[in-house]
Amino acid sequence: MTTSIVKDSTQYPALRNLQFSPIKQGEDQLIVLWDPSGLSKEKLVLPLNFFFIVQHFDGEHSIQEIGALYLKRFGEFLMPNKVEQLIVDLEQKLFLEGPRTETARQQARIEYRQQPTRPAVFAGRSYEADSVKLKKQIDGFFTSGEGPDFKPSENRGKLIKGLVAPTYDLKQAGPVYAWGYKELQESQQPDVYVIIGTAHAGLENFFSVTDKDFETPVGLVPADRTILGRLKRLVPEFFDEEIAHQTEHAIEFQLPFLQTIVDKPFTIVPILSSFSALSLTDLTVRSSVDRFLSSLQDAIGDSGKTVCVIAAGELAHLGMRYGDSAPPTDFSFHRTMQRDLEMLKPVEELKPDEFTQFIQKENDQRRISGFSPIYSLLRLIQAEKGQVLRYDRGITDQYNSTATYASMAFF
């Protein structure tokens, strides 16, 4: 019989799943850390030598081991009081795993459950908070020079089965969203939109479902009680991490488009997902993903309603913000664009396994963050064809770190 040894968190600190980005202040390069889950609202700016330290806060390296690595890397001793102060600062900001963070996490879950709806978190930041201005903003994405052309869709009047849409900031990527939503506007519209968005902060259970209605400046978007109720009876464990919906933008960014262009009452099934193509080689992960998607398919089928699945996610991520050692060049971006469009061919052909294998062969070196929602869409819908409508990229920091994204439609 073997027993796992629980390591002392004060000697083996473990950083939470944080995001970071390089920034410039004068001639200095610094790193800013923040919590994508929203549990902590804090930010922490670190010099590169301190960022080296926190990169080894993985629960496996002791403070003494980190000190030895620091000496080898920088040629100087790491003073214990500096590490102690750094750990205190990280704990206070809820950036480390431990009792303080777990208490905050439990309290956040209770508070989320007590909310009557999921509020519009990004209104006034990523899009207009006033309903009239928001509708005008959405209309502007359609009429923009980068927006969709005015020719009627070749799929006009057909029942739309699926969409792939970005999750990038609306102010920059709005016209790319509009290419997909124009197809929806001109199609035979379904009763329900199953929106599967990337959980950028990650998930332990790979999927997170919430049964809350979503608020937007335009009004309330109702959750589909029939499908969600059935799903909760089949796989209740996938509702355990619904707190992830509180600060995730992937679903929220789709709703103003739906409210603006859909011309009949509709409901949504809000789902977040987080698993990689590489993780599907793990039979435990694959089994859990299969269980959820099969249950969702059953719940949709039992409802008797027409459904469109919207996969909300980005494609490749290049540059220092995402772990590369140098900023992307024009050549590396164009190479990525070629690879992205090649990768989307099996998506157009509704071949989830080939889509997965393409990314696995690359060892997911381009960090396809929208894999899980797109893969889920391919597993769920029955369509004849898909089509890439528009492709673009966004620059995410001062070092030209780049995220790519596309709009697609399936009929």
Number of residues in the chain: 411
Alpha carbons 384 and 397: distance in angstroms, whole number:
39
| Residues 91, 44 within the same domain | yes
Q: Is residue 9 part of a domain?
A: no
Q: Is residue 3 part of a domain?
A: no
Looking at residue 5, what is its pLDDT?
Answer: 57
| Residues 186, 88 within the same domain | no
Domain with residue 364: its CATH number is 3.40.830.10
CB-CB contact of 374 with 347 (8 Å): yes
Q: Is residue 402 part of a domain?
A: yes
| Residues 99, 123 within the same domain | no
| Residues 270, 154 within the same domain | yes
Alpha carbons 90 and 43: distance in angstroms, whole number:
10
Q: Is residue 6 part of a domain?
A: no
Alpha carbons 183 and 410: distance in angstroms, whole number:
9
Using a CB cutoff of 8 Å and minimum separation of 24, what contacts does 40-47 make? 40/93, 40/94, 40/95, 40/104, 42/93, 42/94, 42/95, 44/89, 44/90, 44/93, 44/95
For residue 326, the enclosing domain spans 119-410
Q: Is residue 276 part of a domain?
A: yes
| Residues 102, 127 within the same domain | no
From 107, 141, 169, the end of a domain falls on 107
| Residues 74, 123 within the same domain | no
* SS3 per residue for the chain: CCCCCCCCCCCCCEECCCEEEEEEECCEEEEEEECCCCCCCCEEEEEHHHHHHHCCCECCCCHHHHHHHHHHHHCCCCCHHHHHHHHHHHHHCCCECCHHHHHHHHHHHHHHHHCCCECCCCECCCECCCHHHHHHHHHHHHHCCCCCCCCCCCCCCCECCEEEECCCCHHHHHHHHHHHHHHHHHCECCCEEEEEEECCCCCCCCEEECCCCEEECCEEECECHHHHHHHHHHCHHHHCCHHHHHCCCCCHHHHHHHHHHCCCCCEEEEEEECCCCHHHHCHHHHHHHHHHHHHHHHHHHHHCCCEEEEEECCCCEECHHHCCCCCCCHHHHHHHHHHHHHHCHHHHCCCHHHHHHHHHHCCCCCCCCCHHHHHHHHHHCCCCCEEEEEEEEEECCCCCCEEEEEEEEEC
Alpha carbons 30 and 359: distance in angstroms, whole number:
32
Whose tokens are 């990768």? That residue is: 343
Amino acid at 118: R
Q: Is residue 10 part of a domain?
A: no
Q: Is residue 114 part of a domain?
A: no
Q: Tell me how far CA of residue 36 lies from CA of 84, 159, 219, in angstroms.
A: 25, 36, 26
| Residues 42, 165 within the same domain | no
| Residues 209, 297 within the same domain | yes
| Residues 223, 74 within the same domain | no
| Residues 71, 146 within the same domain | no
Q: How many Å from the N-terminal Cα to the C-terminal Cα in the chain?
A: 55
pLDDT along the chain (411 residues), means of 10: 60 92 87 92 94 94 92 90 91 95 93 94 96 97 94 95 97 97 97 97 96 97 98 98 96 98 97 98 98 98 97 97 91 96 98 98 97 98 97 94 97 97
Alpha carbons 138 and 189: distance in angstroms, whole number:
19
| Residues 84, 154 within the same domain | no
Looking at residue 8, what is its pLDDT?
Answer: 75
From 47, 75, 107, the end of a domain falls on 107
Q: Is residue 112 part of a domain?
A: no
| Residues 167, 72 within the same domain | no
From 52, 85, 107, the end of a domain falls on 107
Alpha carbons 67 and 61: distance in angstroms, whole number:
10
Looking at residue 291, what is its pLDDT?
Answer: 98
Q: How many independent structural domains does the chain possess?
A: 2
